[in-house]
Amino acid sequence: MRDLTNIAVDDDARLIPLWSIVIAIIAFVGVEYYFWLVLPDQRHHPGPPLGFRIYFNVSWGLLAALYFLMIGYVSKDAPRRSMSARFWMLICFVMPGGIGAVLYFLLRQPLVSRCPACSTFVQSDFHFCPQCNYQLTASCGNCFRTVRATDVYCTRCGHELAADHMPSRLRVMGD
């Protein structure tokens, strides 16, 4: 498996690369230039009222900018999920009307991280590493659902979590 991009989940602002922001700004300015300067010269009849022109021009400019920002987001998010960034960027670029972006969000894989013990790539929703059986997250010993490390009882089945002997590295607060 190739090396995955390590971007924290809380660091969403870094998921849109600078090149995508620059292209989005250029696209917005280009659309505005076309609608305000080029298109009015080609009309042979009066255009719509100024309010409608402002609304539609800014809307189309924002849609064009959003299109390129979404492609930039996919370029950074797909590697975090062990997916092909080039393939999904192409899908988002080629499919009209944002259908590619909708497909990406519907079909994307869960986040992938490394096991601290053996460095195997594991999905973020795994409780145990499939290679070394290292406990990655706190879970109930009775129903095996995810629990917070500070919980005393399981919120699903009511099982007392202290009886599970959870590893101390998963306990945030002392007893």
pLDDT in tens, 98-149: 899 999 999 988 877 788 888 888 887 787 888 888 877 777 878 878 787 7
In 3D, which of 140, 141, 137, 138 has the Cα closest to residue 155? 140
- Measure the CA–CA gap between 121 and 108, rounded to whole angstroms: 17
Model pLDDT, residue 44? 74
Please report, rounded to a whole number, the percentage of residues in the chain having pLDDT higher than 90. Answer: 33
- Going along the chain, which residue ranges are E strands? 112-114, 121-123
- Res. 32: pLDDT tops 60: yes
Give CA–CA dist 53/31, Å, rounded: 13
The answer, yes or no, to whether residue 166 has pLDDT greater than 90, is no
Q: Which amino acid is at 88?
A: W
How far is the C-alpha of 16 from the C-alpha of 102, rounded, in Å?
A: 17
Q: In this model, does residue 171 exceed pLDDT 90?
A: no
Residue 173 has pLDDT above 50, yes or no: no
Q: What is the pLDDT of residues 34-55, one digit of tens each?
A: 988 888 777 777 777 888 889 9
Phi and psi for 139 in degrees, rounded to 5?
A: -145, 155
Interatomic CA distance for residues 1 and 8, integer angstroms: 20
CA 156 – CA 148 distance, rounded (Å) = 12
